[in-house]
Amino acid sequence: MPAPLLSIRNLRTYFHLDEGVLKAVDGVNLDLQPGQTLGIIGESGSGKSVMARSVMRLVMPPGRIAAGSQILLSVDGKDPLDIAQLPFESKALRQIRGRLISMIFQEPMTSLSPVHKVGFQIAEAALLHVTKDRKEARAIALDRLTRVGIPNPERTLEAYPHELSGGLRQRVMIAMALACRPKVLIADEPTTALDVTVQWQILRLMAELRDDFGMSILYITHDLGVVAQIAETVAVMYLGQIVETADVLTIFEHPQHPYTQSLLRSIPHVGRRSRERLEAIAGTVPMPINLPVRCRFADRCQSAFSDCFEVAPALVEGQPGHAVRCFLHSKEIEQHG
């Protein structure tokens, strides 16, 4: 297997609040291979978006990446660069954002500037990283709008975001993220606000653009149906930690963590009787402030036993490529400190 394009090691993003330390991301390890789409799934509050913003170094105070964390980016055979150690306002970090790693944010309705035309917003990234020629930057913006399938892209260049529909705004966001042909694209629930038909079009578009641009995608969502369509590998996240990771077929056919199993049982299936109720996971994701050292899903797990409330399980690879954080499958305890 080739070296990972993006390697996350022991990522810990904490928010120091008056109430205590909120551990939004707490010890995440992930590898994104060249040309791969890695799906990150979990309920709201699991830490998915904070993890994505940590990779982009967009976490603002009182949040910060804790000491010891690594976000290693290896491009064109060069030695890995640790993004987590770069100063927040450094030139090196500005050169990475947009050019090597780009991000589609969660809300296309609010992520575009309302006072600038679409063409200007896309060309701005090209002017920063690709060319100083405004005509060439505009040509790049036009090309990206054409690639994402926007009808009449010349007209869209001169439009303001409020003049476009939600689906078109989402395509503009993708075009902007692809302006500099990044190596890694982070998509943070980019289809949540769209109807099912447009959602399918966007997913197909992203898969095509991944192949055309030769990039890797970190796709964040709470929709298991979306993951099944776009990802090769899936990491299940709960309360700041990865609880299970495997290829997409294994996750759907042989899930091992009780949380993953519960998520899958909550999906509506064709043929289910209309009067049958979907299974819901009891309780809610707790606030990750001053959490005790134990299994974080124990309070909501129907299979929990005494050890789950006393010590924390480690993420253990029981089978090649399939790792689970659960005492039902391994007695290994997570080491802290």
In a domain, 2, yes or no: yes
CA distances from 144 to 35, 98, 313, 327, 335 (A): 20, 14, 46, 48, 47
- Residue 123 forms part of a structural domain: yes
Q: Are residues 105 and 50 in the same domain?
A: no
Q: Look at residue 310 and tell me if it is in a domain.
A: no
Separation between Cα atoms, residue 63 and residue 75, nearest integer Å = 28
Residue 301 lies in a domain: no
Closest alpha carbon to 217 in 225, 208, 91: 208
Please report which helix (H) or strand (E) contains residue 238, including its range: strand 233-238
Angstrom distance (rounded) from CA 36 to CA 217: 6
pLDDT computed for residue 336 by the predictor: 64
64: buried, middle or exposed (CB in 10 Å: 19+, 13-18, 0-12)?
Answer: middle
What CATH number is attached to the domain comprising 260? 3.40.50.300
Positive or negative: CA dihedral 82, 54, 161, 174: positive
Helix (H) or strand (E) holding 53: helix 48-55
Q: Does 130 share its domain with 209?
A: no
Per-residue pLDDT for the chain (337 aa), expressed as one digit of tens each?
678 999 999 999 999 999 999 999 999 999 999 999 999 999 888 999 999 999 999 999 999 999 889 999 988 777 889 999 998 888 889 889 988 999 998 776 678 899 999 999 999 989 999 899 999 999 999 999 998 888 899 999 999 999 998 888 888 998 999 899 899 999 998 877 677 777 788 888 888 889 888 899 999 998 888 898 899 999 999 999 999 999 999 999 999 999 999 998 887 766 666 666 777 788 888 888 988 899 999 999 989 999 999 999 999 998 899 999 999 999 999 876 5
Looking at the DSSP bridge assignments, the partners of residue 216 are: 184
Shared-domain flag, residues 36 and 110: no
The residue to which tokens 């120091």 are assigned: 16
Percentages of the chain per state (helix, strand, coil), in multiples of 5? 30, 25, 45
My answer on whether 189 and 85 are in the same domain is: yes
Range of the domain at 161: 101-181
In a domain, 297, yes or no: no
How many C-beta atoms lie closer than 10 Å to residue 210's C-beta?
18
Q: Is residue 140 part of a domain?
A: yes
Asked whether residue 117 is domain-assigned, the answer is: yes
Sign of CA dihedral 239, 244, 250, 253: negative
Residue 70 and residue 53 share a domain: yes
Main-chain phi, psi angles of 7, to 5 degrees: -125, 120
Residue whose C-alpha is closest to residue 32's, from 188, 226, 212, 234: 234
C-alpha distances in angstroms, 38 versus 27, 65, 74, 232?
Answer: 18, 22, 17, 6
Residue with tokens 């447009």: 198
Is the CB of residue 27 less than 8 Å from the CB of residue 11?
A: yes
Q: Which long-range contacts (CB under 8 A, 24 or more apart) does 136-145 make?
A: 140/179, 141/175, 141/179, 144/175, 144/176, 144/178, 144/179, 145/118, 145/171, 145/172, 145/175
In a domain, 300, yes or no: no
- 21, containing H or E segment: strand 20-32
Do 82 and 217 belong together in one domain?
Answer: yes
Asked whether the beta carbons of 270 and 74 are under 8 A apart, the reply is no
Both 18 and 148 in one domain: the answer is no
pTM of the model: 0.91
Give the chain's domain count. Answer: 2
Same domain, 39 and 175: no
Beta bridge partners of 188: 220
Residues 108 and 134 in one domain: yes
3 state DSSP class of 14: strand
Between CA 299 and CA 282 the distance in angstroms is 9
